[in-house]
């Protein structure tokens, strides 16, 4: 039953963002969405597995330092209601990473949640195609079943990474027909990422595909010749040309001439945030405090709640947010989680070199998009990223145990004839 619920969550999480965020209710004086119920289901699922089954403590070691600091920071946050909600969300990310380690042996061995993650993208992909041709919004960017085009782009980036991990890995075997279908399907997903007009996702996907081309299949290097042709696509050329405009802020913001582009605007906000947190560099201003405080330290912040119900502005950088809210200690612990993933992946290099290269490329791609977006706020995205690595590492652990068991059995068989002869 637990395995079925886990599979269902992986299969459907990608399509519920818009639906669940529109269903609101009051609880304990806080305005919550139906997504909170799903979060509680995942936390309950993780707790049941932790207390009923044996599993690796690796996911706990990865997440515990950052979660401990985040929990403490709730006490001095300027928005304690938002801080408690954010803390529970962070625990769900850790839970999705941990759950695969506690599943039954055959489920860990087959890494079946990886396929569930890929299947989860079918409906968002089909919806994106329909959206582009029939009901595209005025900004020209597709967002599918997600709340924002960026979230769709980063989610598809993770799915593309998973696909190319499967195409590379010797640990997870796929049939030739399914392999061909994955190559074709990945082309569709890359095209959809382009249509989201999310530049950081473009760079991250290029990193993943570049790793595959250089270290796994050199034939894909021919595709690099086609990269300049992408400049002929308006969605690409317009977004790139935007970076050359509005690079300086005059301090007025009264006309089009005073407007800054999205990255220059981020830099301006980050500088203001770092000035504001200067007196609390070690422990930060408290979890989920950036949005509310931005109304004070950044005059351009919106005082009305956004689509996620938050006031002010998001940090538009997970690193800046971690540094502002949980200080240098929290920032170091947050960065440390990704290096823990890289270290764990590299342990499998001798057994699965190509799969390891792709895992590291996915982690680096994810670290890249953390630099310029509100990754903490994107629940579904984090679930698939952390769930994927939990699934792969859980399979690696299972395979290591089975290889060791076969090795012991082989030694016993070799020794037995001599024991009989004596």
What confidence tens digit (pLDDT) does each residue in 163-205 have? Answer: 999 999 988 888 889 999 999 999 999 999 999 989 999 999 9
- Reference 289, options 75, 71, 79; nearest CA is 79
pLDDT of residue 420: 52
Confidence of residue 26 (pLDDT cuts 50, 70, 90): low
Q: How many domains does the chain have?
A: 1
User: Domain range holding 39?
Assistant: 2-247+264-416
Distance, in Å, from the CA atom of 305 to the CA atom of 300, rounded to the nearest integer, reads 14
pLDDT of residue 257: 41
pLDDT of residue 391: 93
pLDDT of residue 31: 60
Exposure string of 158-184, with b = 16+ CB inside 10 Å and e = fewer, is bbbbbbbbbbbbebbeeeeeeeeebee
Average pLDDT of the chain, as a whole number: 85
233 part of a folded domain:
yes
pLDDT of residue 196: 94
359 part of a folded domain:
yes
Residue where the block lists tokens 């919550």 = 32
Most confident of 15-29, 81-95, 167-181, 306-320: 81-95
Query: What pTM was estimated for this model as a whole?
Result: 0.89
Confidence of residue 308 (pLDDT cuts 50, 70, 90): very low
Token readout for 214 is: 């250089």
DSSP code for 55: -
- Reference 386, options 65, 44, 52, 113; nearest CA is 113
pLDDT of residue 175: 87
252 part of a folded domain:
no
Confidence of residue 235 (pLDDT cuts 50, 70, 90): low
Q: Give the pLDDT mean for 219-248.
A: 65
Contacts of residue 155, defined as CB under 8 A and 6 or more positions apart, other chains included, come to 14, 121, 124, 146, 378, 380, 381, 384
Judge whether residue 381 has pLDDT over 90: yes
pLDDT of residue 53: 83
Distance, in Å, from the CA atom of 46 to the CA atom of 389, rounded to the nearest integer, reads 16
Q: Give the pLDDT mean for 220-241.
A: 69
49 part of a folded domain:
yes
Judge whether residue 23 has pLDDT over 80: no
pLDDT of residue 66: 98
Q: Please state which of the ranges 1-10, 138-147, 402-411 shows the lowest mean pLDDT.
A: 402-411
Q: Please state which of the ranges 93-107, 323-337, 378-392 shows the lowest mean pLDDT.
A: 93-107
Q: Give the pLDDT mean for 37-55.
A: 86
Distance, in Å, from the CA atom of 237 to the CA atom of 245, rounded to the nearest integer, reads 13
SS (H, E, C) 253-306: CCCHHHCCCHHHHHHHHHHHHHHHCHHHCCCCCCCCCHHHHHHHHCCCCCCCCC
Give just the sign of the alpha carbon dihedral 35, 38, 40, 43. Answer: negative
Q: Give the pLDDT mean for 367-373.
A: 95
Q: Give the pLDDT mean for 306-320.
A: 73
254 part of a folded domain:
no
Percent of the chain scoring above 70 in pLDDT: 81
422 part of a folded domain:
no
pLDDT of residue 37: 80
Determine the 3-state secondary structure of 50 from DSSP.
helix
Confidence of residue 251 (pLDDT cuts 50, 70, 90): low
pLDDT of residue 93: 97
Q: Give the pLDDT mean for 397-409.
A: 73
Q: Give the pLDDT mean for 75-104.
A: 93
Distance, in Å, from the CA atom of 119 to the CA atom of 14, rounded to the nearest integer, reads 10
Q: Please state which of the ranges 173-187, 273-287, 309-323, 401-415 shows the lowest mean pLDDT.
A: 401-415
């Amino acid at each position: 039953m637990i395995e079925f619920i886990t599979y269902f969550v992986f299969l459907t999480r990608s399509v519920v963002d818009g639906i669940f965020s529109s269903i609101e209710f009051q609880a304990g004086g806080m305005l919550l969405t139906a997504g909170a119920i799903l979060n509680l289901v995942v936390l309950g699922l993780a707790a049941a597995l932790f207390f009923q089954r044996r599993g690796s403590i690796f996911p706990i070691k990865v997440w515990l330092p950052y979660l401990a600091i985040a929990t403490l920071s709730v006490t001095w946050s300027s928005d304690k209601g938002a801080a408690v909600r954010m803390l529970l969300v962070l625990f769900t990310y850790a839970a999705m990473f941990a759950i695969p380690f506690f599943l039954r042996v055959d489920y860990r061995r087959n890494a079946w949640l990886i396929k569930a993650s890929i299947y989860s993208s079918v409906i968002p992909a089909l919806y994106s195609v329909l959206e582009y041709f029939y009901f595209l919004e005025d900004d020209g960017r597709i967002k599918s079943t997600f709340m924002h085009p960026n979230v769709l782009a980063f989610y598809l980036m993770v799915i593309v990474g998973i696909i190319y991990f499967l195409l590379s890995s010797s640990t997870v075997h796929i049939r030739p027909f399914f392999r061909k279908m994955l190559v074709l399907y990945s082309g569709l997903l890359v095209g959809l990422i382009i249509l989201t007009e999310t530049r950081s996702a473009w760079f991250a996907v290029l990193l993943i595909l570049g790793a595959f081309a250089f270290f796994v299949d050199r034939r894909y290097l021919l595709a690099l010749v086609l990269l300049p042709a992408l400049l002929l696509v308006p969605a690409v050329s317009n977004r790139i040309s935007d970076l050359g405009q509005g690079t300086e802020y005059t301090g007025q913001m009264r006309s089009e001439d005073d407007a800054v582009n999205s990255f220059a605007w981020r830099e301006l906000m980050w500088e203001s945030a770092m000035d504001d947190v200067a007196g609390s560099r070690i422990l930060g201003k408290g979890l989920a405090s950036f949005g509310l405080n931005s109304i004070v330290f950044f005059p351009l912040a919106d005082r009305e709640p956004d689509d996620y119900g938050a006031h002010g502005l998001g940090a538009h950088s997970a690193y800046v947010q971690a540094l502002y809210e949980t200080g240098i200690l929290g920032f170091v612990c947050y960065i440390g989680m990704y290096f823990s993933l890289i270290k764990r992946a590299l342990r499998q290099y001798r057994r699965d070199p190509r799969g390891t290269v792709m895992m590291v490329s996915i982690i680096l791609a994810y670290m890249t998009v953390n630099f310029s977006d509100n990754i903490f706020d994107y629940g579904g995205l984090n679930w698939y990223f952390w769930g994927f690595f939990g699934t792969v590492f859980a399979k690696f652990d299972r395979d290591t145990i089975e290889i060791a068991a076969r090795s012991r059995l082989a030694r016993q068989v070799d020794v037995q004839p001599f024991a009989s002869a004596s």
